[in-house]
Amino acid sequence: MENNKKIEFSVKAIIIDKDKFLIMHKKRVKEELWDLPGGRMEFSETAQDTLLREVQEETGLRVKPFRLLDTWNVVYENRQITGIIYLCKLEKGEIRLSDEHDKYKWVDASIESIDCLYESFKERMKNWNFNKLLDD
């Protein structure tokens, strides 16, 4: 591997509340592409520690992760981000956006709602059974 290439690990959340899940828009992104809450792991954290910290920092919400759903991967010129997605239940809190995001929305937990997400998530989520997610 070349020295100037970097691999990062990230954890994302599908936060279910009733029949919807939360998506967020980053301030620095001009397009209407939406992200899932979560972010990069810090040294010595577990994946669940990262998830809880990132969701709290980005949204102000407390969640309960209860199942690992999928993996995802995106490769840029000198950087690769590989991650996992947890299915989470909303425990409590009101959304308070971090400086990183400018808006959020709750969307139906269905295949039709993934069109506005980044391709790295869409390509994985298109194979999900959203009805089964809601039953968990």
pLDDT digits (tens, 9 = 90+) for 14-29: 999 989 999 999 999 8
Task: Summarize pLDDT for 52-107 with one digit per residue, the tens.
Answer: 999 999 999 999 998 999 999 999 999 999 999 999 999 988 999 999 999 999 99
- In-domain check, residue 82: yes
Neighbour tally for 119: CB within 10 Å: 10
For 11-15, what is the mean pLDDT? 97
- In-domain check, residue 122: yes
Pairing of strands 6-17, 38-40: antiparallel
Residue 136 predicted with pLDDT over 80: no
119: containing domain: 6-135
CATH, residue 33: 3.90.79.10
pTM of the predicted protein model: 0.92
Helix ranges (H only) for 6-118 are 47-59
Do 108 and 20 touch, CB atoms closer than 8 A? Answer: yes
pLDDT class of 3 with cuts at 50, 70, 90:
confident
What the block records as the tokens of 56 is 């709290």
Do 89 and 62 touch, CB atoms closer than 8 A? Answer: no
Q: What total number of domains does the chain contain? A: 1
